[in-house]
Amino acid sequence: MPLRLISTDFDGTLIGHPDDGRCTPALAGALSDFKASGGIWAINTGRSLSHTLEGVALLSAPVEPDFLLTHEREVYHRAADGQWRDYGDWNRICRARHSELFHRSGPVFARIRSLVAGARDVTLIEEPEGPVGLITSDESVMDRVVEGLRPLHEAFPEFGHQRNTIYLRFCHLDYHKGSALGELCRLERIASTEVFAIGDHYNDLPMLDPRYAAHLGCPANAIPQVKATVHKAGGWIAEARCGDGVAASLALAWQHAAKKRPAAA
């Protein structure tokens, strides 16, 4: 079946660094060609909605994304008034479930605070409902933090996290880039066989799953775990970094999907 939707991570995938986030010529051409064919483009990111819009403005791609999947769990579409709005009931239910989870997670938060207490290289991000995430000084410190969180997640199965470089967000285990992509496909009536997903880091792994996208890719700068996942699924690991890698992988996935298109009767 032909590709109908591409789900792209933002930081580390479309762009290399936020302060140098312009769309490369190869990426611009790939996105333009895909959209011209009737394809749908969703940005699937850990950024907030407002931060995503800032990034999209800086990216200055020749075409606009059709959907924004933000905070690694929320689904937005552009409404008739031009504003980005919740798509269906997903975001409302997602927020309610996270609020309920955080409300009863006092023991979890107490153990998290104890885990990072006195650590100068770990900053806990506190909001009224409790800790929402943390930042470490470098990725080796984050590796140790994640290992320390493992018994906690085993004791509280619904309580999970999403990690990207030195940033970590606490979340309900059911909500991630994969489940958000799955909800978008349900609303748009798109099969996983018609979806291409590409990312570079840990928080992209849930969408780099054949349950949500049959066609997978990653740029050359992807972490080893992402490359291994894409390779195992028969996807495309680009030789180019970031946006140029997206363009190359998308071209291969598009060609592959076209070859599998059923012949006309």
Interval 167-197: pLDDT, tens:
999 999 999 999 999 999 999 999 999 999 9
What span, in angstroms and rounded, lies between the C-alpha atoms of 2 and 258? 5
At 265 the pLDDT is: 37
Give the neighbor-by-neighbor strand order of the sheet with 167-172. Answer: 122-127, 130-136, 167-172, 159-164
Single-letter code of the amino acid located at 151? P
Residues of the chain under the 50 pLDDT cut: 263-265
Domain boundaries, the chain: 5-72+176-259, 92-172
Which residues share a beta bridge with 135?
Answer: 123, 167
**16: number of Cβ within 10 Å:** 18
Q: Which sign does the torsion angle of CA 200, 24, 184, 188 carry?
A: negative
Q: Model-level pTM?
A: 0.95
At 167 the pLDDT is: 97
Fold annotation for 5-72+176-259: Rossmann fold (3.40.50)
Q: In 3D, which of 176, 246, 226 has the Cα closest to residue 15? A: 246
Q: Are strands 195-198 and 5-8 parallel, antiparallel or unpaired?
A: parallel
Q: Any residues with CB less than 8 A from the CB of 141 and at least 6 apart, and which?
A: 121, 122, 166
At 222 the pLDDT is: 98
How confident is the model over 6-35, as pLDDT tens digits? Answer: 999 999 999 997 767 899 999 999 999 999
At 263 the pLDDT is: 46
At 159 the pLDDT is: 96
For residues 259 and 9, the answer to whether their CB atoms sit within 8 Å is: no
